[in-house]
Structures are given as structure tokens and as C-alpha cells.
Amino acid sequence: MASQSDHKATVIDGKFIAQTIRSEIAEEVRQLSEKYGKVPGLAVVIVGNRKDSQSYVGMKRKACAEVGIRSFDMNLPEQISEAELVSKVHELNENPDVHGILVQLPLPKHINEEKVLSEISLAKDVDGFHPLNIGKLAMKDREPLSNPALPRAVLNFYIEVE
């Protein structure tokens, strides 16, 4: 029988790991910039003035700046119509400098989140909230079609320029 002393916890340094990942992404972005004269772009759409959403989006913008990813900020009023928001998403889908799109949730109650998220180009869906991504994630032994935001924007950039 194993004693409690046989089971040792491993303490990990999350800040160090995060910084290592950021450094690796920054190096990839630098190399992409040198090779192609462009950098990956991440569009962040925020609707309204929720303090928690503003803070979270601010952290994403800071992370982009740290690694050299171009941040496209779209701050929209709380009263924007669903049709106007969908139109803005379509503009980002068509923008060749935007390689990833993130719509900050929650959206105001008068906007159907599923409708808006389903309008994001599958290739630019950095949060993986597109219905096809959610569906694949829910299926046994299936991989989602997207990955987390910053690496996803870099990956989409690679795909576009190759």
C-alpha cells in the first residue's frame, strides 16, 4: 500500500509557462514579418461598456501587443442592431489583414449570440464558438476546427501566406 509521502505534487509556474509561450509566438511573428512583410491580425469585437468585458478584452489587446500581433479593435455601442453587428463581422471576414476574429460575450439581450457567432468565418473563429466548431468538439473522438486565440491568429496567417 502506497503511503501519502509516495504522492508528491508538482508545482508549476504558470507565469513562466505563459511567458515562454508568448516568447515563442513573438519569435514566430517576427519571422513572419521578416519573410512576408506582414503580421497576423486579430480583430476583437466588443459591444457595449461592460467593465468585465472591457477588462478581459484589454488583456487580449495587451497580449497581442506583447507578441507583435496586430490588434483590430471594434468597440460598438450597446444599441447596435443585430444586422449591423453581423455586417461588421462580414467586414472583418473580408479583411485580408484580419486572420482571427473574436466577439466578446455576452452580447446585449436584443442580439442573438448564436446568429452572430455563426457569421464568423470558420477559418477566423479564434474562440471556436462557430456552431461547426462546437459540434465537432461535442462529438466523440473529434477535434475542434480551431485553437485558442493568439496561436490561432498566427496559424491562420501561416495558412494565408503559404
The residue extents of the domains of the chain are 12-161
Evaluate whether 129 touches 70 at the Cβ level (below 8 Å): no
pLDDT at 159 (0 to 100): 44
pLDDT in tens, 82-110: 999 999 999 999 999 999 999 999 999 99
Residue 60 designated active-site: yes
CATH architecture of 12-161: 3-Layer(aba) Sandwich (3.40)
Is the pLDDT at 153 greater than 80? The verdict is: no
**Which residue from 158, 55, 42 is spatially nearest to 100, judged by alpha carbons?**
42
Please provide residue 72's backbone torsions phi and psi, each rounded to the nearest 5 degrees.
-105, 110
Evaluate whether 70 touches 40 at the Cβ level (below 8 Å): yes
Residue 4 designated active-site: no
Residue 50 has, within 13 A of its CA and on its CB side, a CA count of 13
Annotated catalytic residue: which of 60, 88, 124, 125?
60
Annotated catalytic residue: which of 88, 104, 124, 125?
104
Q: Residues 42-52: what's their mean pLDDT?
A: 93
Q: Lowest-pLDDT range, 29-33, 66-70, 158-162? A: 158-162
- In sequence order, what are the beta bridge partners of 76? 47
Annotated catalytic residue: which of 88, 124, 125, 127?
127
More confident residue, 74 or 136: 74
Predicted TM-score of the model (pTM): 0.75
- In sequence order, what are the beta bridge partners of 103? 45
Residue 15 designated active-site: no
pLDDT in tens, 60-70: 888 889 899 99
Q: How many CB atoms lie within 10 A of CB 144?
A: 16
More confident residue, 5 or 39: 39
